[in-house]
Structure formats: C-alpha cells, structure tokens
A and B are shown apart, each in its own frame.
Chain A
Amino acid sequence: MRHTLIKCLALFLCVLSYAQTTNLSGIVQDETGLPIPGANIIIKGTNNGTTTDFDGNFTLKAEIGATISISYIGYVTKQIVITESKNLTITLEEDVSQLDEVVVVGYGTQKVTKVSGAISTVKSESIDQLKPVRVEEALQGTASGVSVIQGGSPGSSPTVLVRGIPSFSGTDPVVIIDGVPQTLADLNSINSTDILSLNVLKDAASTAIYGVKGGNGVIVVTTKSGRNSEKVEISLNTYTGVQSVFKKLGVLNATEYAAIINEGSLVSGGDLIFNDISSLGEGTNWQDEIFKDALVTSHTISARGGSEKLGYFLSSGYLSQGGIVGGSDKSNFNRFNFTANLNLQLTDKIKFILNSSYANIKSQTVAENSFNSILGSAINFDPTVSVYNNDPNDFATYGYSNLLLSEIFNPVQQLDNTYNESNGDKLYGKFEIQYDVLDNLKLTSRFGYTKWDEVGKSFNPLMYYGPNNVSSQYTSDGEVKDGEHNSVTEYTNSTFSYTFEAFASYNLNINEIHNFDVVLGTARSKSTGYGFGATRQDVRDNAWEWADISAATGVNTDENTDAYTGYSYQNLERRNMSFFGRLNYDYQDKYLASFSARRDGSIAFGDDNKWANFYAGSLGWVVSNEDFFNSEIIDYLKIRGSYGTSGNENVDPQYVSITIGGPSYNATANSNGYTFGSTFVSGATVDSFSNPTLAWEVQTQYNFGFDAKLFNNTVSINADYFNKSVDGLLFTDATPLYAGTSLPVDSNIGSTESKGFDITLGYNNNFSDNFSFNTSFTFTTSKNLVTSTNSDGTAFVTGGSYFNGQSQDVTRFEQGFSPGYFYGYVTDGLFQNQAEIDVHATQTGANPGDIRFVDVNGDGTITDLDRTKIGDPFPDFTLGWNLGMNYKNFDFTAFTYASVGNDIFRAYERNAQYTNKFRTILNRWTGEGSTNNPNTPRYTFEDSNSNIRASDRYVEDGSFVKIKSVILGYTLPQDSNNFFSKVRIYTQAKNLFTFTEYSGLDPEISGGILDTGVDRGAYPQARTFLIGLDLKF
C-alpha cells in the first residue's frame, strides 16, 4: 500500500513534469484594471516569452507547472506557476519600493539605484495633490536641500536656494524643462498638472555637466509626454476656493491713537493734538478695509495616448488667483496654458519630438512691501479718519488726515486709484531628433526656445488727499494745481532665448558585469531682450477708461518737457558655447562611478578668460548587493561620495566705455564737462575700467551620503552632507585713489562657504488592501559664511533698505558673517533714571525711558561703530512633514512645513509723529520701574535718543510651523460608474494654521538675499479653502 502510494505519487509527478504544453492566454492589467501593453512574459529558465499587445492580452505556449515571470517598468515583477491553461488575469502592482525608478539628470536619465550624486526628487503624485500655483511651491519641504521662501502676492516668485547662499545676488538655480534650459522666472507659466517629475540636482557631480550655469543647483522639470500604443486617457481637474487673510496686526484704535499722540506731544513740550478724545471711538480699522476674500480657480484638461508611431500629450489649463490685499479687482494672476507634446517615430531609428507650450499671463498688482504700499498705509494710517468724506461742503471723495500730510495716504483711496495691467505671452518648447544609430548608440539634437512678450499699462490719476497734504494735486476748491498732471504709461518687453544642443549617448555592457554609459555633446545658447515704453500726461476725465497713450493729450512744451516721454532698452545679448561629457560606470550594480566634464565659453568673461572647465566625479557602493551583506533589517544600502566644480557667470562683459555729457550721478560721480564763462560745455571721458581677467565664480563642492531601505522596504532614508565653497566670488574691489574716478570693476576676489545636511526619511506601508499609510520627513540645513570679500575685508554690500523717518540699510554681505545678516545696534533695556544714563557710555540725547544701546566696541561712546550682527534672516533648518493615508476609497494628505531660526526685521513701523502705533506701545515706559523692555521705550515726538534707529528692538524670531496643506479626498468606487475610470472629489485647505511667535502678518518673507526677512509690510500668504474634482476617462 505504501509502495503503491509512492508509485502513484511518482507517476503523478512524472505526469506533471512531462505534462503536455498548453496554449496559455491571459491579460495583464494594473491595479485599476487598465490593461498594460508591452509587458514582458518570460518562462523562467528558458528564452521563451512574449509581450502583451495593445489591450494587454498575450498568448504563450507553456508547460503546466512552469513558472512565468511578468514584468513591466514601474511595476513589481510577478511570478506565477502555471497550473492550468485557462485565461489568466494577471494584476501587476505598482512598484512602491521604486528601485527601478529613474531620475532625469543632465542629458539623460539614470536608474536611481545607479546614481552616485545627490539628487532630490518630487514625484507627480505629490505635485498632483498639492496643486501648486507655481511649481516651486511643490519643492518647499518636499525636496531636501532646497529652501523655498514663498511670497503672498498672486503669482509672485519665491526665493529658491539650493544648498545654501553662495552669493549676494544671482542665486537662482537653473531650470531645465524637458532638457531645455530656462530660468526660475519661467516656472510661472507651467501648469502643475502637466508635470511628471521634478528632480533637483544638488551636488557638483550632478550639476557640473551644466558647467557655468550649474553653480546654484539645477531644477529638472519633466513634463508628461505621449504614450505610444495606448488608448487615449483624458483627465479633467478642476478646483475652486476662497482665500482670506489669517491674521491682522494689532494697531491702536482711534481713541488709543489720539491719547498716545497727545502724550507724545506733551512729553516733547508741545500742545494737545486732540482736545477731546472721548468722541473718537474705535475709528477705522484700515486693515479691515483693504483685506478682501479672493477666489482661486483652476481648470485643466489633458489627453494622453498614442498610436504605434505617434504619442501625444495635450493639455490646456486656466488658473485665476485673486489677491487678498485689495481683492481680485486690483490684485490678481490669470494664466491660460496650452501644451502639445508630440513624439513621432519617423523610422525605426529616428524619433522626432515636438514640445510646444503657450501660456498667456495677465496680472494686476498693488504696491507692496513698503511703508507707503497699500498694506503699509493700512498699518500706519490715521485711524480717526473715515473711509469716505462725510462733509458735503468738501469736494473730497475719501476721508483724509489733517495730521499725516505726506507719504502715507488713505489706503482705500490708494487702492481704488491703483490702475495697472500686464499681459504677457510666452511660447516655449523644443524640437528634438533622436537617431538610434545602433542599439546602444543614440544621437540627439534639439533646439529649445523661450519667447516672452509682455505689454503693460499703468495709470496715475490726479489725487486729492486734503487741503494741506503735500501730495494733493487739487486745491481745496477742486481746481487742479498748476503743473499737476495725470499720466498713463505703456510699455512692452520682449525676451527670446534658445539653446541648441547635440549629444551622443552610448552604452556598453561587457559580460553583464561592466556597464558603461557615455554622453558626449555640445551646446550653444543665446538670450536677448529689449523693451520700449512711453508716458503721456493728461488723460481725459482722469479715468482709467481713457487711459491710453493714443487718447491722452499731453504735448511737450518748453515749460513742461515731461508731457510725452519715452524710453527704450536693449538687454545684453548673452551667448554661450559649451562642450560636455559624462561617463557612468558600474560593476554589477555594486560599484558605481561617474565622471563628468564641461567646457564653457561665454561672452560675459574677460578676454583673457573666455573658457572655463568644470570637472566632477562621484563614487558609489551598493553595500547591500555584496554577497557578504546579509541583514534582516536593511534591504538596500548605498554609500555615495562626490567632488567637483561648477560655476556662475554672473558678470557683464568688460570694456572701456566713454561717457559724454555733464555731471554724473553714478557711484563715483565721474562728472564731465566744464563751464566756459557762463556757458556749460559737454565733455567726454573714460567712464569705466576693464578687467580682462574677469572670470566665472567657481564652486567646489563635496558631498557624502547614503541611501537605505529598511524593514521590507517600508522605511527609506536618504542623507547627504555637503560642503561647498565659492572662489572668485565677484566683488567690487577697492580701487587705488591714484587711479581716479572711473567706475570700479568687479573682480573675482570674494569667497563663501556653505555646508549642511539634507535628509529625507520615508515610511510607506500597505497594511492591507483597504489601508495604506505613508509619511516622509525632509530636513534641510545649511550654514553659510562669507569667507572673504576684498583683500583686507573692508568691502561689503548693504541692502534691506527701509524708511522710518530715516533711510536705513539693515542687511549686509560682509566678510566673517553669514550672508544677508541683520546689522544694527544692540539694546540693553531702558534707562530707568538719569543716574543710569550717567554711568553708561556717552549716548547723546538719552533720557530716562529711552533705550540703552550697548557700547559694543567699548570706546565709551555710542556711535555707528557699535553696530553689529543682530540677526540672521535665513533659517537654521527647515523641516517638511508629509503624511498620507488611504482607507478604502478615502485619501488623506497633510503637509506641514517648519522653518526654525529665521529672524525677521520688523520694518513696517513708519514711526512718524502721526502715524498709527502698534499695540505694544500700550506697555511703554511711563516712569522708573514701569518696564525695562527695549521694545517699549517712552513715547515722545522728539525722540532725541533715536529709539527708532535700526536695532535688535525690531528683530524677532520668525520661526514658524505652517500646516501648508490638508487634503481629504474620496474616489468613487469603480463599478459605480462605467464611463469614468476615476472620479475623485476632494477638499483642500492651504495654510490652515501658522504657529509662530512673530508679531507681524506672515513670518515667511521672500526677497533677494539682502531683502529676505525684511518685513516692510509684505503681502501675507492667504489661507485657502477649496474643493476640487479629478476625473479620468
């Protein structure tokens, strides 16, 4: 019996193993049930196999019991033992570990596993979810190593820094859209739903192939392209929402204002300003008058698919964003996009790619970020004034102050009389030919271009601010004052740039062990631009409706030469010529090496330095691929290191210029001309030096990092340490006095250093079919230092200027300090009595209740020399935290961004005698012992101590945590609708909460390196609630 059983079993096995071949058939589909064409099906241990057809179907001769392997890029390879020949339905899961994911690098793509440089990636899913108005928003907190400081004005450019602050200007990373170099500003015209991926190349090994343009990092944008041999997929995305301000500043109401004005006057020995404050009440809260809810709306539709020879991605979008300062009527950003990305397989070997995008951008703006902007006026204007004039005997339309007689006006009046519009057209894209000379040799030639044309108009109407206001253009009886005119300005700007590149890509595999990947190429590029404008006075009816050059009537006369004026300009035509190459090598996916080089020629460089060479190399070791590596916890581990150089061509060409004319207003006042008798005669002289050795700034960067995946690929870690130094930083050297007053030239004399960590931590787990969870953290830090400027360190650049009665420059770029640091006096409480003043260093004008400034240099007197570093506008580190969950058909995403250690300089306080004051003044010093807080000195009109000088009194910690985005979505079950393949509705909140100690409106204040963190009444970001719908069919 027992033998029989064994025999039977043996026979059964024999039958199985010698079983008949069967005609296997089936369909391969993805998780949503869509067929996957082109999937590979191979019988293990043989060379037999097939691929699926257009509808995902396949047939294959196989033996029962054989194992087939089904694979497709981006999906987990599946293995199935054939048990019967019935129709199989094979569902491939998307590869969550994404080990086979590719990143787009300079002039090619690379498998993530083979990358040995430092690259951050933002995937289309997170862009799709976030729905940013500008693409940079999607990088904030999601791409480690990238600092993004956003502004609040609709469509405004954020500050974007990749790995620290190398310079005081020209720090924008280069943007490559589908291989074509563009600028950061060009990201305003791209529709976020068109984007497939964003890669940020951070280390020298990745950026050196962009040479002289790569020094500030490279943002590689890849847009969606056609999919050959696929049915059309149409996507429709729409959302609409309401934006509103989430915080207002605490200013005094009318009664409090009048009381404090009276006090200020009395303390200075003056009279009461308001004799009866009891009737004033609350007065006008100007912030309530100018902050308005504004709509944001977006619709996009796209079609993607293709036949065997033609792939297409077509998309059209409309976005309209209103501004919360002034509302949609006065502040807005509107964009239409049309994109056609086509690829045509002309022959077996030749492919033609045509990407064309058109964007139309219309916008209107309000004055911002200054004490007399709309918002600045709303903060500082007299609260006792009514919005509109109530006196029928006064012809004024708006209320006006009889105390504030210049600079700051009724903000509602300012807003109503703000008239401007700009309308720009951008056309960009590429023509590309790819020629597969051999299976492993491809030639690519492409022509990428960007054309931008903008026309704009603005109108300055005649205004009346009351009888005593210096800016009133009418007399009190309504007559236009002599010499006053309204005016209309029209302008046009145009830029064009192209890049023409040709390169060959060759890969070679020796014995399946040695993999070589070679790119060699050349590029030339050009950018140019020009503009015209005209201004004409005397617009009919003082009305925007008539505001046009053709309708205005101003004519120049001897008395008035400004009635009709014009200008034109021509941008420097920048041209570059480059050669580049890269060699990637790996040994069995274990040992990775890469070397790249670029040679750049630029018209910007001096005659003696026309060409620059940049080299970089990187090494990687995939430890987890070693035989000895055996870890239960670590599934994947790669260690990387790189070193190399890249550059920055932030210079203008050099030549010895001649200036002809009279007195000069340039920095050295190199005046011309002379008087003979009493007649002025124009002269000519040499105006500039020329530095023929002027060259590029060289960035040298090294990078160490590792990538790891742990716990069954559920946890991922990417961490990098970088150290980059800039040599030859362009700085204006001190010129010997004996060389005279020609304009000094820049020399490559400065240097900076930045170092820091970029870390990304991810956790991703599909707990069940119904529930998946993912979360990720990014951590970005950089420490920046200006290591030298000129030879003795005496040269520095100042910025961050603001006005609070005196013009103040509050930021500096100076040797030995972090770039753009805040510079001013250090406070040490308040003088409580005369005795304290007497024992302190001599501080002219100090009285009890005034701020005690620190005698930093110890010379016994408080002078300019006591100013020092009082803050740093750039954060110590930033954190992004993304949380995603899917439960059944619900999806939830929350994104939180934190910036820690960024200081803000509060520059919106105008501090004139009669401007409104901030609520902190209610805690002011009123007598000995009342307070010692330097932010609340005594209040006096006179301010003989200059308590308003730039000091740490105005510096606040601007650290913040913002819940940037919270999304809750619901996808309709698939079987409930036959027509749509996907229906998702969602609701999103942007800037839901901001946690900060900062007393101003919004702690995120963008600007250039020397303007970041200087809050002159910056446009705050809006809190937005929106609902949206995503459809696919």
Chain B
Amino acid sequence: MKNIKYIGLILILTSFVGCSEVIEFDPHDEYAVTEADYLQTQEDYETMAVSCYTPMQWLNQLYVIADIASDNAVAGGENASDVISLQHLDDLSQLVPNNSTLSDLYLSAYEGINRTNYLLSYKDQNLQGETITWSSKEAMYGEVYFLRAYYYFALVKMFGNTVLFTDKKLGVSDFGTLQRSPKEEVYTQIETDLLDAISALPTTQDQEGRITKYAAQALLGKVYIYQEKFDEAIPVLNEVVNGPFTLVDTFDDIFLLEGENGLESVLEVQYSNGQPYYNWGGQTRGQGNYAVQQCGIRSLSAESSEMPYNSGWSTNLPTQDLALAYEDGDQRKDATCFDIEAYIAANPTWGITYQEAPYNNTGLYNKKYLPRAGQTSGQVELNYENNHRIIRYAEVLLLAAEANLRGSGSATDAQTYLDMVRDRAFGDTNHRVTATVDVIWNERRLELAMEGDRFFDLVRTGQAAGVIDNFVTGKHEVFPIPQDEIDISGIEQNPGY
C-alpha cells in the first residue's frame, strides 16, 4: 500500500527533472543544415565559393543603366509609365531616391559582399575552430577576394561613399548600426582585395568563367584609372596587354554565343538556360540574362525560320547620336546599332514584321545583346544564355593607352594600343588617328557602347555635364542611395537628392 503512495510522488518528481534540455532546440531535429554543419570540407568551401559568383549575374541592369543614363541610349519601353525606374535614369532631372532598379542593384551588390565576407571570415578557421586546408585553397580565395572587390567597385561607381564592412556577413544585431565610408576607403579596400586576388589566382582556370589573374589585373587597372592613379595602372595593365589575348577580327562575332569566353574575353559574367527560371519576383536572379529580353524588338516575327532574332520589350535603345558617332567603314556601328528597317530591307524575303518601339523610338536596337531564337528556355523572358562581356581585351588596350597618356607612361605604347583597336574596327590600317586623351575617350565610347561603361566614363572624365542632358554637376556624379535604405538604416543620402 505504501508503495502506491510513493509511485504517485515519484511521478510528480520526475517531471521536474531535466527541465532545461527539454526546451533546447536542435535544428537537426528538422534535418536542417545550419552554419554549424557547414564549411567542414573542401567541397563545402568550394560550393559556397560558387554562390559568391551568383550576385554577379544579378547585376545585369548595371550595364543597362550605364548606357541609358548616358548619351548612348534611351529607356524606351511601352509608354512613359513603363520601366519607370529606367525612364528616371534616362532623364536625370527625374531621378529620385525611390528607384527600383537602383534598389535592386544596391541590394544585389551587398548580397555579394555578405557572401564573400562570410566565406572570408571562415578562411582560417571554420565555425568550430577547425582549419580546413587543401592545395588550391588560396587560389579559390583569390576568386573570392576578386568578387568582393567587384561588388564594392559596382557600389562605389554608382553611389560613391558607401557602407563598408569586410569582417563578416551582417546579422540581425548589426542592422541599423552602420554608416557610409568615404569612397577613398572603399577604393583602398578594393585595391587590397584585388592585390590579394592577383597574388593567389592562376592565369588560367579549368572552368570557363572562373576568375583569372588577368581578370583581376584588368579590373585593378581600371580601378586605378578611376582614381587617376595612372602610373600604378600601367604595370598592372601591361601584364594583361602582354597576356594571351587577341582581338577578334569580326567585331560582331564577339557577341555571338560562339564568341563567349573567346580570345578577346578577359572577364565575362556567365549565363545559361539549362536551369529555366520562372520567378518573376526575382527576375534578375536566375541563370539567364534578363537584360537580353529587355532590348529586343517588339512583336518581331518572320515567316522565314532563318531570321535569328526573338522579340523583346524595346528598352535600352541606342540613340541616333551614337550611330552617327561612327565613321563610315567602322564595323562596330552595325554591330552595336541594329537598324531594323535596314535589316528588313536587306532580307526582303523573310517576311519580317515588328512593332515600332512605342516610346522613345530611335529605330535602333542594341545589337550586342539582341535576343536570339533558341537561346532561352522555360520562362523565355528570363532565361537568355548570353554572357555579359565585362572586360574585353580591347578595353584593356584602351585603358592601358589612357594610363600611358595620362600618366608618365609611353605615348608610343598608347598609340600602338589605339591602333590595334582601330585597325580591328575598320579591318585596315587606314583609319589610325593620333592618340590623345580625348581620342581615347571617344574610342572607348565607340568600342564599348551598350556594354555598360559610358555613364561612368563620362563622370570619371568630367565630361558628363557637357554630354548628358540635365546632368547637374555636384549631384549626378552618383546615384541616390535607395530610399528604402535611408528609411531602414538611417544612413545619409547623397547630396542633391
């Protein structure tokens, strides 16, 4: 009988036992992989490094707005209220902090920084304090350093002073605690990262699209030139100039699918269509290049299956001003500015029809990235596989020429580099001109039009106010910090916005 009493007591007491463990949560109960489980093997590190590349793909609009905001292109679209964020970048007088394209670019670049920071913060030790080593670890980290520099360079070009952090991926407790750093500090960090990258990276990679030492040197050279550190740029760029690159004879071929990662390619953002993406909520975040669909001709179709192009949305239209900038005989003109009427006239039997661009019609389309049949899949608008050419050998030559002319370099070298570019453009040596700074700058426009450099070139060379309508000096050198960020993070806005 007594026993029964004690059973009751024991029952009561047992429930007091082990109270704390009961309410501890272990994510493994949910079969969730957490950061505590990861970065334990070489493969983990390498897999995570792959996703440090991903936000590069998301920045495709950066190359669109750099031409739209300049004299090279207009926003286009269906009407005045279509692609409104691009319209506002086209007419800078309308540019306000609430711009969805700039917001997305800002966010994407910072995601890249958070990803690279995360991997870098566990370089020496993972979360458990273990050190994982393998032979190509430093080389892999060379890619990560490069990528962080790439993302910061995108930010500093667009926004000037920007929030700088390098020690970690931000967590909840960091929200709202950061302020913008002077752009000089950001550039210093970019240089440091690129130098680290250069010292670690190999000159060739097994996989196309992986960052090479040359890509890092080319970017560093460009970063120096943006800071007008020409003498530092010269030796770095010379390494690339003397590298294994050559100019492709037919300019147009560079931008074909077959031309991807070609002889002239120093740095390209890779896209593919094997992983069809359907998420309109993240239209720039798939494996395809959203910018391609944008610049297509509206309702383009043909009776003939030989016509290679798909239709698109008629945004980012080259201006007649750009087309007129090319001399006769310059093969870059037709390879940059696609004249649809001329194309129809040249192919009268194909039965081509299209809808004239309903807004900002220039009659011209961005030939370099015009959407092509058979190069997309799934949700066709989102999955064009065209790579974005970021740094071509031709640009390296022009950068080197500029550095030599503006720094204490060799005018002869500059002339040589310019001649190489122009000889290829005209297919002969009869169109050489004397290399001056202005000539180089103009050549950059002709060579790199619709590739995403023009606005930033005009700003860094001080020509913007003279070229871009409604450009206000002291304001439009940088874009406004996204309003969301101002609201949420309490950081300072750029002057004038």
Q: Which residues of A contact B (CB under 8 A)?
A: 346-347, 349-350, 433, 435, 443, 445, 500-502, 504, 522-524, 570, 572-573, 575-577, 601-605, 610, 653, 655-660, 662-665, 667-686, 689-693, 734-742, 745, 747, 792, 794
Closest chain B residue, CB of each to CB of A685: B51
Knowing A655-B27, A683-B51 are in contact, say whether A738-B22 is a contact too (CB < 8 A): no
Knowing A737-B484, A738-B110, A740-B170 are in contact, say whether A433-B7 is a contact too (CB < 8 A): yes
Chain A residues contacting B489 (CB-CB under 8 Å) are 736-738
Instruction: Give the docked Cα–Cα distance between A225 and B1 (Å).
Output: 26
Chain A residues contacting B407 (CB-CB under 8 Å) are none
Whether, in the assembled complex, B134 has its beta carbon less than 8 Å from a beta carbon of chain A, the answer is: no
The 11 listed contacts between A and B (C-beta, < 8 Å) are A347-B5, A575-B23, A603-B23, A610-B23, A657-B27, A662-B275, A670-B111, A679-B274, A683-B50, A685-B54, A735-B488
Instruction: Give the docked Cα–Cα distance between A522 and B485 (Å).
Output: 47
Knowing A738-B170, A739-B174 are in contact, say whether A577-B34 is a contact too (CB < 8 A): no
Instruction: Give the docked Cα–Cα distance between A680 and B56 (Å).
Output: 15
Chain B residues contacting A504 (CB-CB under 8 Å) are 12
Instruction: Give the docked Cα–Cα distance between A601 and B20 (Å).
Output: 8
Closest 3 CB pairs of A and B: A669-B282, A683-B51, A683-B50
Chain B residues contacting A656 (CB-CB under 8 Å) are 34-35
What mask results when residues 19 to 58 of chain B are scored 1 for a CB within 8 Å of chain A, else 0?
1101111010111111101100000100111111110111
Q: Give the most central of B53, B174, B176, B282: most A CB within 10 Å.
A: B282
Q: Give the most central of A575, A659, A678, A689: most B CB within 10 Å.
A: A678
Closest chain A residue, CB of each to CB of B273: A678
Instruction: Give the docked Cα–Cα distance between A671 and B382 (Å).
Output: 14
Instruction: Give the docked Cα–Cα distance between A229 and B277 (Å).
Output: 73
Contact A435 B178 (CB under 8 A): no
Q: A524-B19, A672-B51, A737-B103 are in contact. List 8 more A-B contacts (CB 8 A).
A: A672-B54, A673-B275, A674-B54, A674-B209, A675-B57, A680-B274, A736-B176, A738-B170
Chain A residues contacting B485 (CB-CB under 8 Å) are 736-738
Contact A601 B23 (CB under 8 A): yes
Whether, in the assembled complex, B281 has its beta carbon less than 8 Å from a beta carbon of chain A, the answer is: yes
Question: Which single member of A667, A686, A690 contacts B281 (CB below 8 Å)?
Answer: A667
Chain A residues contacting B11 (CB-CB under 8 Å) are 433, 445, 502
Shortest distance from the beta carbon of B189 to any chain A beta carbon, whole Å:
15
Closest chain B residue, CB of each to CB of A576: B23
Q: Which residues of B contact A (CB under 8 A)?
A: 1, 4-5, 7-9, 11-13, 15-16, 19-20, 22-25, 27, 29-35, 37-38, 44, 47-54, 56-58, 103, 106-108, 110-111, 113-115, 118, 163, 165, 169-172, 174-176, 178, 207-210, 261, 270-272, 274-275, 277-279, 281-282, 285-287, 385, 482, 484-485, 487-489
Chain A residues contacting B110 (CB-CB under 8 Å) are 737-740
Contact A673 B50 (CB under 8 A): yes
Contact A500 B15 (CB under 8 A): yes
Question: Which single member of A347, A502, A604 contacts B1 (CB below 8 Å)?
Answer: A347
Contact A443 B9 (CB under 8 A): yes
Contact B15 A445 (CB under 8 A): yes
Chain B residues contacting A670 (CB-CB under 8 Å) are 111, 285
Chain A residues contacting B23 (CB-CB under 8 Å) are 575-577, 601-603, 605, 610
Contact B282 A664 (CB under 8 A): yes
Question: Which single member of B29, B482, B484 contacts A573 (CB below 8 Å)?
Answer: B29
Question: Which single member of A658, A678, A682, A734 contacts B35 (CB below 8 Å)?
Answer: A658
Chain B residues contacting A500 (CB-CB under 8 Å) are 15
Question: Which single member of A349, A603, A663, A739 contacts B285 (CB below 8 Å)?
Answer: A663
Contact A350 B5 (CB under 8 A): yes
Knowing A680-B275, A680-B287 are in contact, say whether A523-B15 is a contact too (CB < 8 A): yes
Contact B30 A570 (CB under 8 A): yes
Knowing A350-B5, A655-B27 are in contact, say whether A678-B175 is a contact too (CB < 8 A): no
Chain A residues contacting B31 (CB-CB under 8 Å) are 570
Instruction: Give the docked Cα–Cα distance between A349 and B50 (Å).
Output: 70
Question: Which single member of B12, B25, B118, B287 contacts A445 (CB below 8 Å)?
Answer: B12
Contact A735 B37 (CB under 8 A): no
Instruction: Give the docked Cα–Cα distance between A108 and B28 (Å).
Output: 39
Shortest distance from the beta carbon of B368 to any chain A beta carbon, whole Å:
19
Chain A residues contacting B274 (CB-CB under 8 Å) are 678-680
Shortest distance from the beta carbon of A502 to any chain B beta carbon, whole Å:
4
Knowing A435-B8, A522-B16, A663-B279 are in contact, say whether A671-B33 is a contact too (CB < 8 A): no
Contact B178 A738 (CB under 8 A): yes
Chain A residues contacting B170 (CB-CB under 8 Å) are 736, 738-740
Instruction: Give the docked Cα–Cα distance between A675 and B54 (Å).
Output: 9
Knowing A350-B5, A738-B163 are in contact, say whether A689-B15 is a contact too (CB < 8 A): no
Instruction: Give the docked Cα–Cα distance between A193 and B15 (Å).
Output: 34
Instruction: Give the docked Cα–Cα distance between A686 and B116 (Å).
Output: 11
Instruction: Give the docked Cα–Cα distance between A420 and B281 (Å).
Output: 34
Closest chain A residue, CB of each to CB of B7: A433
Closest chain A residue, CB of each to CB of B12: A502
Instruction: Give the docked Cα–Cα distance between A106 and B267 (Å).
Output: 69
Chain B residues contacting A678 (CB-CB under 8 Å) are 272, 274, 385
Chain B residues contacting A665 (CB-CB under 8 Å) are 278-279, 281-282
Shortest distance from the beta carbon of A153 to any chain B beta carbon, whole Å:
32
Chain B residues contacting A605 (CB-CB under 8 Å) are 23
Knowing A671-B286, A739-B110 are in contact, say whether A660-B33 is a contact too (CB < 8 A): yes
Knowing A676-B209, A686-B118 are in contact, say whether A663-B286 is a contact too (CB < 8 A): yes
Instruction: Give the docked Cα–Cα distance between A346 and B34 (Å).
Output: 52
Contact B25 A603 (CB under 8 A): yes
Instruction: Give the docked Cα–Cα distance between A691 and B172 (Å).
Output: 6
Chain B residues contacting A685 (CB-CB under 8 Å) are 48, 51, 54, 115, 118
Closest chain A residue, CB of each to CB of B162: A738
Contact B47 A572 (CB under 8 A): no
Contact B48 A684 (CB under 8 A): yes
Contact B488 A736 (CB under 8 A): yes
Contact A677 B34 (CB under 8 A): no
Chain A residues contacting B49 (CB-CB under 8 Å) are 683
Contact B57 A349 (CB under 8 A): no
Shortest distance from the beta carbon of A651 to any chain B beta carbon, whole Å:
11
Knowing A445-B12, A601-B22, A657-B32 are in contact, say whether A682-B47 is a contact too (CB < 8 A): yes
Question: Which single member of A604, A674, A679 contacts B53 (CB below 8 Å)?
Answer: A674
Instruction: Give the docked Cα–Cα distance between A792 and B484 (Å).
Output: 11
Chain B residues contacting A669 (CB-CB under 8 Å) are 279, 281-282, 285
Q: Give the most central of A349, A603, A676: most B CB within 10 Å.
A: A676
Question: Which single member of B118, B174, B487 contacts A792 (CB below 8 Å)?
Answer: B487
Closest chain A residue, CB of each to CB of B206: A676
Instruction: Give the docked Cα–Cα distance between A685 and B9 (Å).
Output: 52
Closest chain B residue, CB of each to CB of A610: B23
Instruction: Give the docked Cα–Cα distance between A738 and B38 (Å).
Output: 24
Contact B169 A435 (CB under 8 A): no
Contact B261 A677 (CB under 8 A): yes
Contact B5 A349 (CB under 8 A): yes
Chain A residues contacting B115 (CB-CB under 8 Å) are 685-686, 740
Instruction: Give the docked Cα–Cα distance between A978 and B260 (Å).
Output: 100
Knowing A445-B12, A522-B15, A570-B30 are in contact, say whether A677-B270 is a contact too (CB < 8 A): yes
Instruction: Give the docked Cα–Cα distance between A673 and B38 (Å).
Output: 16
Closest chain A residue, CB of each to CB of B487: A792
Closest chain A residue, CB of each to CB of B280: A669
Knowing A663-B277, A683-B47 are in contact, say whether A524-B22 is a contact too (CB < 8 A): yes
Instruction: Give the docked Cα–Cα distance between A463 and B410 (Å).
Output: 78
Q: Give the most central of B11, B279, B489: most A CB within 10 Å.
A: B11
Chain B residues contacting A663 (CB-CB under 8 Å) are 275, 277, 279, 282, 285-287
Instruction: Give the docked Cα–Cα distance between A501 and B462 (Å).
Output: 77
Instruction: Give the docked Cα–Cα distance between A788 and B44 (Å).
Output: 42
Contact B37 A658 (CB under 8 A): yes
Instruction: Give the docked Cα–Cα distance between A691 and B175 (Å).
Output: 11
Shortest distance from the beta carbon of B260 to any chain A beta carbon, whole Å:
8
Contact B8 A433 (CB under 8 A): yes
Chain A residues contacting B169 (CB-CB under 8 Å) are 686, 740
Q: Give the most central of B30, B286, B485: most A CB within 10 Å.
A: B30
